[in-house]
């Protein structure tokens, strides 16, 4: 498709005073306990009936999936005969129920149904739903996403509930093996460890359906597939194409890290300058970390460049050394070295994008005050109007409670020990988490029939080491994610994680290239962040006037959570935003508009406590037939407020947006100008189903929300869509500053296969507005 520059969206009316926000309340107790118990009884009996139609397991007890809110899973075991099997999230608990346990559960539900008070009534109140473990629950993420293979037979990995121990474990395995042998299912391999029982089986579509109905089966998935080609890592210098220099006037991206190997043949043509701000050390890279980060910041996706045989530097790369060969800085305050580096590269080269793949493992953000380095970055970003791209940090487990990587993934990502580390909580930056790209470890490639070599995450799921949010005041952190690597285990070695040579990391430039190693593979959020810095560099080259707010807003506006991650967390939005933020950016759509996806941009300044108003220009084809087709509207906003670490309200100001639908701009202006918020929400609610809701997105300084419209019909009428920007200022900051810059991005997209002309029509509408 033909690519276009983004269009400029003009503001409509002057600023207007804003009003205050109200509070909210929440109720969780069942309004009618008798009806609640009666409904649970009906659900329980449906599970019992359905279980009779499934393949019986070694253990005759019934398998229940219970949604319980407000209690611990072990509380359910206070009912004798109920046994917790697994916790599948914050609210979902899987249990085995013996006949005695079922009878006792039924008795307590019957008591409450009659208006009596059963023992531990709180447990009955906490249970919100009862289901069985269904074939859909047994499908792993790859099987759900890719579907059942067409060609038969095919291979699947089958995981059993690892409950039995000792002789009963062997009896359970014999029972299962006798069962699948009768089904003409062929065993390729088996792993039997204390906490994991897994089979690799050759099946048909018919026998797969039987497996999905088997009571003892926990999960069925396709074997790992995605892998990094070993041949790419060993490509030699003579295989590389000639590398041109960046074009004249190209912007620069600065990597603040361990230095850089300036002579690397892929980097040398684009190196603008390399300096050391670490006392007593030169700018050369001794650990290799900085050189890998520089390669990714310059080329984005090294694997793609290798496969295409093309390395074209789009901008210049600069290096500022701030850490030593051990990737540490113990000489003094690293904040001072970063400040010196930022000032140097701004003053000498007018650089506006800085990558910082660096974090302090001792400074985990557990709410409260923002730590020192994050505050420095927030202040530098505002003072110099530059963009910092920061890695979320790597979680490597804990000495106190060792992580069982495979069985506890992804739940441990939400533990306090796995939260983001300084400086990732900074609000005026882009914090980047990591996704897994590859899932077939190198040993698995060599031994394709060995089930023991398993990845922790599957493709497009969060990397096992990525750290999670939220950030200050529950801000969405990290804001975006990119590929940064994966972990793998040999199930025979229990919890031992293979090293980065397992082939599941990201490939980039190696500092010891003179020995013949042009490339190196490693993993970490350190190698996800520079890909976002690369994307920001592409944007700055295309739109030289773009400030850091617009760069952030464009990247976030075109980011989406991968389907594999949505399925992993069962659509739990709070978990999704805390792990992957707004998602992974679509690089091409960040930079270009298309006929079916038009991006509108504006950079403005807003005064005091006030409102700005914009109309979203919806093209004629947006309303055209067929009525049922998916359309998508995304709005994103970014600003860079003043911060004070000593204040509970860290930000001096907040700028938020609402999208409303009405046929009169005057009415919208009057409502926002003269009506208190608690009344305003009743008069004019936010249009449609924008995700995330305001309560999720408002706490950050870069925000986005998307509305998917599966149908647009005559009920739309003469209504228009308006974006209302509202700025509020903390009392302690009212006399410090007045005007504040922000950027607004609006995206209108048709997600169907219809031939639409959104871009042409919107461009014509905007030209007509200018004439008026």
Instruction: List, by residue number, the catalytic residues.
Output: 257, 289, 526
Query: Any idea what DSSP says for residue 596?
Result: T
Cα→Cα distances 260→243, 325, 355, 523, Å: 18, 11, 13, 18
User: Do residues 738 and 608 lie in contact, with contact meaning Cβ atoms separated by under 8 Å?
Assistant: yes
Block residue for tokens 């070694």: 58
DSSP for 518-550 reads -EEEE-SGGGTHHHHHHHHHHHHHH-TT--HHH
What's the order of all strands across the beta sheet hosting 353-356? 271-276, 316-321, 252-257, 353-356, 387-391, 430-435, 480-483
Distance CA 542, CA 562 (A): 27
> Cα(first)–Cα(last) distance of the chain, in Å?
32
Instruction: Please name the residues in contact with 291: beta carbons below 8 A apart, sequence gap of 6 or more.
Output: 259, 260, 261, 264, 267, 285, 508, 509, 510, 511
The tokens for 130 are 């009862």
Distance CA 454, CA 459 (A): 13
Block residue for tokens 């969206």: 9
Query: Any idea what DSSP says for residue 459?
Result: T
Distance CA 760, CA 767 (A): 11
User: Do residues 493 and 217 lie in contact, with contact meaning Cβ atoms separated by under 8 Å?
Assistant: no
Q: Which residues pair with 726 in a beta bridge?
A: 611, 656
Block residue for tokens 């882009």: 430
CA-closest candidate to residue 527, choices 246, 250, 255 = 255
Helices then strands, counting H and E runs in the chain, come out as 23, 30
SS3 letters across 327-396? CCCCCCCHHHHHHHHHHHHHHHHCCCEEEECCCCCCCECCCCCCCHHHHHHHHHHHHHCCEEEEECCECC
Distance CA 653, CA 644 (A): 11
CA-closest candidate to residue 690, choices 645, 729, 721, 659 = 659
Tallying the residues shown for the chain, one arrives at: 772
Q: Report the half-sphere exposure of 295 (CA within 13 A, side-chain side).
A: 30
Angle, helices 99-113/33-51, rounded to nearest 10 degrees? 150
CA-closest candidate to residue 598, choices 709, 767, 757 = 757
Q: Are strands 62-68 and 252-257 parallel, antiparallel or unpaired?
A: unpaired
**φ, ψ dihedrals at 599, nearest 5°:** -115, 130
Distance CA 378, CA 381 (A): 5
């Amino acid at each position: 498709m033909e690519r276009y520059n983004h269009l400029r969206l003009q503001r409509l009316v002057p600023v207007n005073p804003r009003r205050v926000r109200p509070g909210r309340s929440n109720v969780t107790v069942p309004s009618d306990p008798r009806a609640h118990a009666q409904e649970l009884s009906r659900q329980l009996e449906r599970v019992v009936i359905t279980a009779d139609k499934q393949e019986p397991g070694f253990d005759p007890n019934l398998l229940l999936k219970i949604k319980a809110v407000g209690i611990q899973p072990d509380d359910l075991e206070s009912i004798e005969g109920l046994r917790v099997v697994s916790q599948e999230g914050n609210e979902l608990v899987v249990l085995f129920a013996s006949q005695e346990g079922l009878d006792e559960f039924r008795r307590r539900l019957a008591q409450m149904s009659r208006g009596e008070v059963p023992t531990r009534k709180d447990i009955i109140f906490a249970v919100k739903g009862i289901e069985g473990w269904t074939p859909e629950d047994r499908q792993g993420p790859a099987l759900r996403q890719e579907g059942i293979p067409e060609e038969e037979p095919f291979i699947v990995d089958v995981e059993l509930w690892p409950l039995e121990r000792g002789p009963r474990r062997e009896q359970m395995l014999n029972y299962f093996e006798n069962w699948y042998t009768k089904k003409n299912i062929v065993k390729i391999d088996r792993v039997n460890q204390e906490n994991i029982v897994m089979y690799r089986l050759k099946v048909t579509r018919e026998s797969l359906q039987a497996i999905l109905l088997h009571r003892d089966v926990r999960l069925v998935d396709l074997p790992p597939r995605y892998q990094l080609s070993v041949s790419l890592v060993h490509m030699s210098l003579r295989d590389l194409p000639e590398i041109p220099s960046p074009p004249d006037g190209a912007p620069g991206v600065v990597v603040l890290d361990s230095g850089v190997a300036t002579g690397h043949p892929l980097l040398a043509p684009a190196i603008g300058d390399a300096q050391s701000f670490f006392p007593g050390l030169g700018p050369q890279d001794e650990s290799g970390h900085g050189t890998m980060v520089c390669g990714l910041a310059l080329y984005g996706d090294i694997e793609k460049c290798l496969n295409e045989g093309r390395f074209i530097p789009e901008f210049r790369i600069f290096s500022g050394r701030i850490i030593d060969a051990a990737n540490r800085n113990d000489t003094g305050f690293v904040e001072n070295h970063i400040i010196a580096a930022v000032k140097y590269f701004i003053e000498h080269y007018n650089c506006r994008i800085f990558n910082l793949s660096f974090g302090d493992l001792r400074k985990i953000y557990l709410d409260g005050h923002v730590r020192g380095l994050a505050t420095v970055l927030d202040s530098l970003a505002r003072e110099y109007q530059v963009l910092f791209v920061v890695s979320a940090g790597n979680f490597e487990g804990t000495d106190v409670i060792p992580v069982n990587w495979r069985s506890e993934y992804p739940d441990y990502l939400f533990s306090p020990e796995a939260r983001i580390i300084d400086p990732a909580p900074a609000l005026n930056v882009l914090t980047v988490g990591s996704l897994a790209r590859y899932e077939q470890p190198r040993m698995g490639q060599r031994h394709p029939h060995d089930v023991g070599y398993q990845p922790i995450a599957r493709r497009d799921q969060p990397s096992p080491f990525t750290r999670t949010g939220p950030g200050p005041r529950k801000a969405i952190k990290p804001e975006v994610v990119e590929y940064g690597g994966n972990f793998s285990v040999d199930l025979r070695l229990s919890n031992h994680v293979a090293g980065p040579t397992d082939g599941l990391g990201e490939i980039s430039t190696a500092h010891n290239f003179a020995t013949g190693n042009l490339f190196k593979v490693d993993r970490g959020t350190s190698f996800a962040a520079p890909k976002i810095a690369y994307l920001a560099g592409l944007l700055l080259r295309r739109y030289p006037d773009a400030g850091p707010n617009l760069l952030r807003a464009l990247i976030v506006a075109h980011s989406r959570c991968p389907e594999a991650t949505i399925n992993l967390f069962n659509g739990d939005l709070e978990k999704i935003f805390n792990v992957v933020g707004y998602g992974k950016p679509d690089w091409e759509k960040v930079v270009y508009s298309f006929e079916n996806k038009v991006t509108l941009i504006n950079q403005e300044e807003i005064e005091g406590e006030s409102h700005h108003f914009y109309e979203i220009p919806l093209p004629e084809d947006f309303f055209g037939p067929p009525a049922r087709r998916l359309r998508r509207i995304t709005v994103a906003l970014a600003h860079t407020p003043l911060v004070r670490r000593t204040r509970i309200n860290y930000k001096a100001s907040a700028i938020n947006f609402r999208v409303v639908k009405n046929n009169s701009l005057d009415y919208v202006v009057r409502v926002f100008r003269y009506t208190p918020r608690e009344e305003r929400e009743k008069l004019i609610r936010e249009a449609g189903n924008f995700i995330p809701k305001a309560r999720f997105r408002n706490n950050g300084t870069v925000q986005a929300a998307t509305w998917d419209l599966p149908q647009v019909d005559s009920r739309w009428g003469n209504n228009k869509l308006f974006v209302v920007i509202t700025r509020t200022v903390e009392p302690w900051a009212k006399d410090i500053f007045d005007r504040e810059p922000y950027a607004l991005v609006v995206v209108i997209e048709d997600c169907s296969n219809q031939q639409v002309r959104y871009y042409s029509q919107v461009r014509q509408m905007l030209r007509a507005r200018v004439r008026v």
